[in-house]
């Protein structure tokens, strides 16, 4: 067995269920606070979930990072995006210079941005870029597989190792982000390959294509499925045949975070495609995932449901990069502070119903 497969198997085996005692203790604490039971809604769910993940009520999750995985897509040759592939390395340099939307939101949320080249088509030189290129872009999924199964495993390994390193550096919470022109196409193909969604339901406007180009994108996804015949019951097969390098790496980040008991906030459509693959490789990873926002990309709602996640915020965003996930950090912070700082009925002398 390859080393990358062994790493994946070890990682999956290390994912434990949430700490049920900590979840119960968080529930008891929430019920003791000065509010009607359950009245903080999803914030209470998040406080319980983070307690189950960390084993602690209201854990300090202030050291956090968004991992932006970057990769290119051979399927761009089919004209599926409103932008050219050159934008991928250009945006990577923008992330490294601190000028992208995700950088601004990360600064506001006190998060570090970790940018990894796992598969950009051209070489990028920058001292802060994590150089982990598995190959320079995928092949065109409309004509054959995106990559080999071993390359998909290598990209997953990059993600696992990134999460492991961040856990070792003391990061308490991660978010997923990505950059890769064309990547809503393989994401839609993964939805159609692995869930009940049709290509028609899974394909959206991405960076802003028109209805005619969207029709063509649906055809491209249908062709990718016909040419590659991905096995719906083998997530690695689907990932290798119709996925992408940054998507595979994010699958690894999520599995690595779960294995190290770190909450991982999942961004929009592309990150959720990675989360779908993670959920099929290791169903036990799902309780470590926190859904962030509902993307405008049309398949996102159904995709989140297929994983078992629900979005915290609805801001009509459709950017990716990790922007929605980083905004989600603020909501997680709110949940943690409430469970830590609110007075109890007893301490405040408030009568219980």
Ligand X SMILES: Cc1cc2ncn([C@H]3O[C@H](COP(=O)(O)O)[C@@H](O)[C@H]3O)c2cc1C
Ligand Y SMILES: O=C(O)c1cccnc1
Q: Does 299 sit near ligand X (CB under 6 A)?
A: no
Site string for ligand Y, 205-234 (x = CB under 6 A): -xx---------------------------
The distance from CA 176 to its chain's CA centroid, rounded to whole angstroms, is 4
3-class DSSP assignment, residue 286: helix
How far is Cα 56 from Cα 53, in angstroms, rounded to an integer?
8
- How buried is residue 314: exposed, middle or buried, by Cβ count under 10 Å (0-12/13-18/19+)? exposed
Of 162, 292, 295, 298, the one binding ligand Y (CB under 6 A) is 295
Of 81, 140, 176, 298, the one binding ligand X (CB under 6 A) is 81
- Closer CB to ligand X, residue 26 or residue 66? 66
313 DSSP assignment: B
Range in contact with ligand Y (rule: CB under 6 A) among 62-70, 143-151, 262-270, 282-290: 262-270
Residue with tokens 């839609």: 188
- Closer CB to ligand X, residue 119 or residue 180? 180
188 binds, among ligand Y, ligand X, none (CB under 5 to 8 A by kind): none
Q: Alpha carbon of 33 to those of 27, 231, 339, 350: distances in Å? A: 10, 49, 8, 10
295 binds, among ligand Y, ligand X, none (CB under 5 to 8 A by kind): ligand Y
Residue whose Cβ sits closest to ligand X:
206
Q: Does 224 sit near ligand X (CB under 6 A)?
A: no
Q: How many angstroms separate the most distant Cα atoms in the chain?
A: 69
Q: Does 318 sit near ligand Y (CB under 6 A)?
A: yes
Q: Does 181 sit near ligand Y (CB under 6 A)?
A: no
Of 180, 311, 324, 328, the one binding ligand X (CB under 6 A) is 180
Of 49, 162, 176, 183, the one binding ligand X (CB under 6 A) is 183
3-class DSSP assignment, residue 174: strand
Q: Does 52 sit near ligand Y (CB under 6 A)?
A: no
Whether 203 and 214 have beta carbons less than 8 Å apart is answered as: yes
Whether 237 and 271 have beta carbons less than 8 Å apart is answered as: no
Whether 317 and 296 have beta carbons less than 8 Å apart is answered as: yes
Closest distance of CB 267 from ligand Y, Å: 6
Closest distance of CB 344 from ligand Y, Å: 40
In sequence order, what are the residues at sequence separation of 6 or more whose Cβ sits closer than 8 angstroms to the Cβ of residue 36? 353
Of 252, 320, 324, 328, the one binding ligand X (CB under 6 A) is 320
Q: Does 50 sit near ligand X (CB under 6 A)?
A: no
Range in contact with ligand Y (rule: CB under 6 A) among 11-19, 114-122, 210-218, 312-320: 312-320
Of 92, 202, 270, 306, the one binding ligand Y (CB under 6 A) is 270
Q: What's the first-to-final CA gap in the chain, in angstroms?
A: 60
**For the sheet containing 173-179, what is the strand order?**
130-131, 111-119, 64-71, 173-179, 264-266, 289-291
244 DSSP assignment: -
Task: Return residues touching ligand X (CB under 6 A).
Answer: 81-83, 87, 91, 178-185, 206-207, 319-321
Task: Return residues touching ligand Y (CB under 6 A).
Answer: 184, 206-207, 267-270, 295, 297, 300, 318-320
């Amino acid at each position: 067995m390859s080393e990358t497969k062994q790493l994946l198997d070890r990682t999956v085996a290390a994912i434990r269920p949430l700490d049920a005692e900590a979840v119960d203790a968080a529930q008891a604490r929430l019920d003791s606070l000065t509010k009607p039971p359950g009245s903080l809604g999803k914030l209470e769910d998040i406080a319980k979930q983070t307690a189950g993940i960390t084993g602690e009520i209201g854990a300090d999750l202030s050291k956090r990072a968004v991992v932006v995985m970057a990769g290119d897509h051979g399927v761009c040759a089919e004209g599926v995006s409103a932008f050219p592939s050159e934008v991928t390395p250009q945006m990577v340099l923008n992330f490294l210079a601190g000028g992208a939307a995700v950088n601004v939101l990360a600064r506001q949320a006190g998060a570090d941005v970790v940018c990894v080249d796992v598969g950009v088509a051209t070489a990028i030189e920058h001292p802060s870029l994590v150089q982990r290129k598995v190959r320079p872009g995928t092949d065109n999924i409309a004509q054959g597989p995106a990559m080999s199964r071993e390359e998909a495993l290598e990209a997953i390994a990059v993600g696992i190792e990134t999460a492991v390193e961040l856990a070792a550096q003391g990061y308490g919470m991660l978010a997923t982000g990505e950059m890769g022109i064309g990547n809503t196409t393989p994401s839609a193909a993964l939805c159609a390959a692995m869930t009940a969604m049709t290509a028609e339901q899974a394909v959206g406007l991405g960076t802003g294509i028109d209805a005619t180009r969207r029709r063509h994108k649906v055809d491209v996804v249908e062709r990718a499925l016909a040419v590659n015949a991905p096995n719906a019951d083998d997530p690695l097969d689907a990932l290798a045949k119709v996925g992408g390098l940054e998507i595979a790496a994010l699958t690894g980040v999520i599995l690595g975070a779960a294995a190290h008991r770190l909450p991982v906030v999942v961004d929009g459509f592309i990150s959720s495609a990675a989360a779908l693959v993670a959920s099929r490789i290791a169903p036990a990873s799902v309780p470590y995932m926190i859904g962030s926002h509902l993307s405008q990309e049309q398949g996102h709602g159904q995709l989140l449901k297929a994983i078992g996640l629900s979005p915290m915020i609805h801001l009509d965003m459709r950017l990716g990069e990790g922007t929605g996930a980083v905004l989600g950090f603020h909501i997680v912070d709110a949940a943690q502070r409430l469970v830590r700082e609110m007075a109890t009925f007893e301490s405040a002398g408030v009568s219980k119903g």
